[in-house]
Amino acid sequence: MKLLSSSVGAARAAFLVLALSASTLAMAADPEALLVIKNHRFEPAEIKVPAGKRVKLTVHNQDSTAEEFESHKLNREKVIAPGAKVVIFIGPLKPGQYEFVGEYNEATAKGVVVAE
């Protein structure tokens, strides 16, 4: 009986360690933001992200032509094929505003990341 009781205790302890590890990993995951390219515009045109954190930015090009996400302030450039999704990691950023454009349609495809 003593062996069974210690096995149950060990199993409970292992379960607790796994549960705590999973919650720590979930809290450590990068914040995410979604940006859509539609009608040669970025939607939304302003994205708010937490300052001091790396952010996973997913860009979905819903247009029938390619577009290039470009930001000198974020130091990022990425061509996105029609209908494609790409992931761009940004940050950690200091509080402030970081402009970006669609290089192929700069007159209409404009936006800003606001780190707060």
pLDDT in single tens digits along all 116 residues of the chain = 555 555 656 656 555 555 555 544 445 688 999 999 999 999 999 999 999 999 999 999 999 999 999 999 999 999 999 999 999 999 999 999 999 999 999 999 999 999 99
Collapsing DSSP states into helix, strand and coil, what is residue 115?
A: strand
Residue 37 CB coordination number (10 Å): 25
Element (H, E) at 2: helix 2-28
CA dist 61 → 84, 106, 109, 110 (Å)? 6, 15, 12, 14
Locate 72 and state its tokens.
């000198």
What is the model's pLDDT at position 23? 46
pTM above 0.85, yes or no: no
- Reference 67, options 39, 94, 91; nearest CA is 39
What is the model's pLDDT at position 24? 47
